[in-house]
Amino acid sequence: MATEYGGYMGKVLRINLTTREVDEYPFSDRERELFIGGKTMAAKILSDHFKGTEQPFSDENMMVITTGPMTGSGAPSSSRFNISTLSPLTGYVTSSNCGGNFGYYLKKAGLDALIVQGHCEKPTWLEINSGKVIFHEADDFWGMKTGATQEALDEKMKLPNGRVRKNGKICIGPAGENQVLYASVVSNERVAGRGGVGAVMGWMRLKAICASGNKEISVKEKEKMVAHTQKWFKYLRKHPLTGEQLPKLGTAGLVSSMQMKGLLSTKNYSEGHFDDFELISGERLAEQYNIVNKGCLTCPIRCSRTVEVEGKAVKGPELETLVLLGSGICNNNLEAVLRWNYELDELGMDTISCANTISYAMEANEKGLWDNGLHFSEIDDLSAVMEKIAHKEGIGAELALGSKRLSEKYGGTEFAIHAKGMELAAYEPRKAVGLGLGYAVSNRGGCHLNGGYAVILEGLGLSVNPTTYHGKADMTMLMQNLMEMISASGQCLFTSYAFFPAPLMSHPNSWYTKLVNAVLPYCGGAVRILNKFPEIAAIHLPVFHHTKGFEYVTGMKMPFGRYMRCGERGYNLERELNRRFGVDATKDALPKRLTDVVQDPKDPNSKVPLEKLKQVYYHARGWDDNGLPTKKLLQKLNIEAK
């Protein structure tokens, strides 16, 4: 539906793969005001359809691919798009976010979002050019890895003059085709990795989508936005995290900090330190392997690394991959991690879930629960194992199920490191208990970002007491709401780190940073007031450029308080949606290793006091004792319960 707001293309397209019908899905300006875009827009669309009886691999499921109003607006790090669907890995709604250029080209094609339903009889790829949808057979592409698929698509997009029409694409690899439960969707070298979105696309027999067009992405107040963007870029470039650490070391730069703080998941999360951490560190990656830094469209942070594998320049590993395929399996061979990272992207498989499933299998073997031939620190055959997972051959057919299902079959649920069925990220939460809470309550399962990333306060950026439960629930809620809205608007979550004033990060030994570290856990009450009544912050914060940028692009009034309320709405909407599929307090769980066993025998607090944290968190969120949003809260947030 046409829109009066800038930043939106005013059109959501629904594609039924079974009938090949294409129509416009109504999405009004009132809905844009409430549900913005990205994962929240997707949750609204899914919420309008899902009753809670649907199955991931069925025609009742749908894949909603969304952009945000900031996508392609020229704002910093604004190239993001999102894929939401019913996850085959968790059985709940998942959202998987990705950089690259597909979001930008989807908007250039004139669309804010795509809803894909049904399934194709034969492998198919979709061409979307300026809003027009063309179905193409993909028999020739089926079985191809993601790199070859994208090269083949570019061949198809060649113009009569031989040039490739500018386009953005997403595709799946063999893992998606074979419905590995944690298969990813790949776009250039970027990946919508989590929750098995690639498996759903594979079930639909949809190999790829290619978007192109020349529609204008409108910005409501162009001159003001240009000036604001210049200031915003400058601010991000000056900030110690977004201007120094991430550009110079990438996310890999965290390995050393995590080691020092006991956060480095090691040997399937049984420890927080790895003796050989230097060999898999971001410093070593930068000094010996990084060829060049890369970034997504309009991103000043440029966190992506480029390394050489088999004579090709390819994307380097992120922190999660380095840790979980490094210390996580007691491997100190960095070159092997570089290769696996490339191979997993080529196969179209989430590196986090794959690595954690392998480390679970290694421990199950070590404990005599499952004779599978996998051993910690023995890595020679892992490339072949990954290939087998993608093709569901031999042991790969079992590993393709993820750690939750395997632990239910072979035992060892206490060391199957997942939440709601999705494997945890690389941070060992017993030395960052706020993040432990975040992992447990995260809507999509074991995710550090959807979990609120409290670890940035608990030892990485700041040094708040990592094992106290004080203040963590309220801070987690604040961060979750903030990141939810940044994601919904179409921007990268890394821009949220600039929310923490630069002096606090630049001067960790200053009296004021020490004061903040000491006092923050006891500010839960003040944070709760802000969480509960965000509208009191009817201003734009000088350190947080997102709100003014959002106003200039869309023309919507968006002071900080409203921005936070939109984030809260998004978080609760996903929770309400997942309630229909059975989420409640019992599903907000972590494996016993993390809640019942201390990481450091000398520190009785080095475990996640999850039940205590959950109680405070539910209360802070205004949820009932069963961890569900009350009807009153849903009404207040304009969320319809079913």
Partner 1 sequence: MVNVQLYGVARLQAGVSSFTSEAKTLKELRGMLPNITKKEAEDLVVLVNGSGVKKSYKFKDGDTVVFLSPAGGG
Which residue is it, tokens 């009753």? 51
Specify whether the CB–CB gap between 11 and 112 falls below 8 A: yes
Does residue 494 touch partner 1 according to CB under 8 A? Answer: yes
Report the nearest approach of partner 1 to the CB of residue 253 (Å): 6
Report the nearest approach of partner 1 to the CB of residue 306 (Å): 17
Q: What are phi and psi of 389, to 5 degrees?
A: -60, -50
Which residues are CB-contacts of 131 (< 8 A; sequence separation ≥ 6)?
A: 11, 13, 109, 110, 111, 213, 215
Of residues 251, 356, 465, 578, which one binds partner 1 by CB under 8 A?
Answer: 251
Judged on CB neighbours under 10 Å (0-12, 13-18, 19+), 381 is exposed
> Which of 312, 570, 361 lies closest to 450, judged by CA?
570
Q: Which stretch binds partner 1 (CB under 8 A): 238-246, 348-356, 361-369, 569-577?
A: 238-246
Give the burial string for 398-436 (b: 16+ CB within 10 Å, else e).
bbbbbbbbbbeebebbebbbbbbbbbbbbbbbbbbbbbb
Does residue 372 touch partner 1 according to CB under 8 A? Answer: no
User: What gap in Å lies between CA 350 and CA 427, rounded to an integer?
Assistant: 17
Does residue 283 touch partner 1 according to CB under 8 A? Answer: yes
Does residue 256 touch partner 1 according to CB under 8 A? Answer: yes
**Please, which residue, 113 or 323, has the CB nearer to partner 1?**
323
Q: In the window 502-531, what residues touch partner 1 (CB under 8 A)?
A: 505-509
C-alpha dihedral, 576 to 580 to 582 to 588, nearest 10°: -10
For 131, other C-beta atoms within 10 Å of its C-beta total 16
Q: Which stretch binds partner 1 (CB under 8 A): 50-58, 120-128, 146-154, 317-325?
A: 317-325
Report the nearest approach of partner 1 to the CB of residue 272 (Å): 12
Q: Which stretch binds partner 1 (CB under 8 A): 365-373, 419-427, 569-577, 623-631?
A: 419-427
Which residue is it, tokens 């979002």? 113
Does residue 248 touch partner 1 according to CB under 8 A? Answer: yes
Start-to-end CA span in the chain (Å): 25
Does residue 260 touch partner 1 according to CB under 8 A? Answer: yes
Q: Which stretch binds partner 1 (CB under 8 A): 194-202, 220-228, 357-365, 425-433?
A: 425-433
Q: Which stretch binds partner 1 (CB under 8 A): 146-154, 499-507, 559-567, 626-634?
A: 499-507
Does residue 350 touch partner 1 according to CB under 8 A? Answer: no
Q: Residue 615 to residues 212, 487, 612, 619, 636: CA-CA distances in angstroms?
A: 48, 27, 5, 6, 22
Q: Which stretch binds partner 1 (CB under 8 A): 47-55, 102-110, 246-254, 559-567?
A: 246-254
Q: In the window 451-480, what residues touch partner 1 (CB under 8 A)?
A: 456, 460-463
Of residues 13, 17, 362, 426, which one binds partner 1 by CB under 8 A?
Answer: 426
Judged on CB neighbours under 10 Å (0-12, 13-18, 19+), 5 is middle
**Please, which residue, 504 or 541, has the CB nearer to partner 1?**
504
Does residue 173 touch partner 1 according to CB under 8 A? Answer: no
> What SS3 class is residue 170?
strand
Interface size with partner 1, residues (CB under 8 A)? 40
Q: Which stretch binds partner 1 (CB under 8 A): 134-142, 361-369, 493-501, 626-634?
A: 493-501
**Please, which residue, 334 or 390, has the CB nearer to partner 1?**
334
User: What gap in Å lies between CA 541 and CA 536, rounded to an integer?
Assistant: 13
Does residue 276 touch partner 1 according to CB under 8 A? Answer: no
Q: How is residue 528 written in tokens?
A: 């709760």
Q: What are phi and psi of 139, to 5 degrees?
A: -55, -40
Does residue 583 touch partner 1 according to CB under 8 A? Answer: no
Residues forming contacts to partner 1 in the complex (CB under 8 A) are 240-242, 244-246, 248-249, 251, 253-254, 256-257, 260, 278, 281, 283, 286-287, 303, 318-320, 425-427, 448, 456, 460-463, 494, 497, 500, 505-509
